[in-house]
Amino acid sequence: MSLLQIDQLRVTFQTRHGAVTALDGVSLSLNAGETLAVVGESGCGKSITALSVMGLISSPPGRIAGGAVRLAGEDLTHASEARLRAVRGAEVAMIFQEPMTSLNPVLTVGDQIAEAILLHQDMTRSEAWTQAVALLDRVGIPSAAARAKDYPHQLSGGMRQRVMIAMAVSCRPKVLIADEPTTALDVTVQAQIFDLLNEMQRDFGVAIMLITHDMGAVSEMADRVAVMYAGRVIESGAADDVLDAARHPYTRGLIGCIPSVDHGGALAEIPGVVPPLHLLGAGCAFAERCAHVREGCRLARPELQGGAHSVACFGAQEGWV
């Protein structure tokens, strides 16, 4: 049985356009000790999926309208708020995109990590502080004892992200969700953060859901990949299979956007933008951006098919893409 199992998850939001479906039948699984990369452009549903797992969908305007999120067999979609508070941090932890908006600006970083430890573990404040300093040292922050007394604004972006990782692993969660963990960091620091995540996984045995739009990060980190578009999973499989033999035109487009010296420095792009969710029709959401579109693509929505390497594309399923 998978450690984390998302089954046909459907999330809706009340908007000025009425009820809009942000996630439409999303199914994902994550096994102990592996990394699943959830990939796609902004607005495709990656972060909403993560927030659904954490029980952090704001209601109203949002609500889980169907499906299930199961952690070790327990359905969290029907859990009480008290149970969700107990799960967050202790069993499932999340590293958010921008640590400056996630960390409390009026508490030292050491106090914030110690607070997370005290919430889930039976120890004194002094013991929690000692563990917080040890975690800061563990994630590569120099002079950890002194830095623990700093406030978030006194740290660099890379150091703040390391603090977030230290906080996330402080209670040895089973699942770690990393939502665009290297946003706004330079490439050298990005590589360091990914190395650190790999190290945490190796040392603590945590399963990682990596949410990203960076296919280069996927090739470095992921065991399996799920590609999302307009609130649905459109391709999934082992990372090597998806990266080496992508079946969906959108996935191929994402891979083509990776800078390469083979392209003479020119950057490829996917024309158009993700359509507004309230304007989605009955057909494939990618149809207006797809170079292979046929009339049938606009009339019916393809379902995910294909077993271990599955795809939601009529052309890929029928062999004309």
pLDDT of residue 261: 58
Sign of CA dihedral 173, 179, 184, 188: positive
For residue 187, count CB atoms less than 10 angstroms from its CB and return exposed for 0-12, middle for 13-18, buried for 19 or more.
Answer: exposed
Structure tokens at 38: 């959830």
Instruction: Assign 102 a pLDDT band (cuts: 50, 70, 90).
Output: confident
pLDDT of residue 309: 97
Instruction: Assign 213 a pLDDT band (cuts: 50, 70, 90).
Output: confident
Mean residue pLDDT of the chain comes to: 92
DSSP 41: -
Query: How far apart, in whole angstroms, are the C-alpha atoms of residue 88 and residue 282?
Result: 37
Query: How far apart, in whole angstroms, are the C-alpha atoms of residue 70 and residue 4?
Result: 6
Q: Which long-range contacts (CB under 8 A, 24 or more apart) does 144-150 make?
A: 147/109, 147/110, 148/108, 148/109, 148/110, 148/113, 149/108, 149/110, 150/108, 150/109
- Does residue 129 sit in helix, strand or coil? helix
Nearest to 211 by CA among 45, 13, 29: 45
pLDDT of residue 218: 92
- Vertex 170: Cα angle to 164 and 173 (nearest 5): 100
pLDDT of residue 263: 56
pLDDT of residue 183: 78
130 Cβ partners below 8 Å, 6+ apart? none
Q: What percent of the chain has pLDDT over 90?
A: 78
The answer to whether the beta carbons of residues 9 and 228 sit under 8 Å apart is: no
pLDDT of residue 216: 83
More confident residue, 147 or 215: 147
Q: pLDDT digit string (tens) for 217-275?
A: 898 899 999 999 999 999 999 999 999 999 999 999 999 887 765 655 666 788 998 88
pLDDT of residue 101: 83
Which residue ranges form the domains of the chain, and what is each CATH number? 4-91+173-318 (3.40.50.300)
Nearest to 290 by CA among 307, 314, 266: 314
Question: Max Cα separation, the chain?
Answer: 67
Q: pLDDT digit string (tens) for 15-37?
A: 999 999 999 999 999 999 999 99
Q: pLDDT digit string (tens) for 121-173?
A: 999 999 999 999 999 999 999 999 999 999 999 999 899 999 999 999 998 99
The answer to whether the beta carbons of residues 112 and 103 sit under 8 Å apart is: yes
Q: Can you point out the beta strands (E) in 157-231? A: 175-179, 207-212, 224-229
Instruction: Assign 97 a pLDDT band (cuts: 50, 70, 90).
Output: confident
Nearest to 160 by CA among 104, 218, 220, 119: 104
* Helix %, strand %, coil % of the chain (to 5): 40, 25, 40
Nearest to 246 by CA among 41, 48, 39, 46: 39
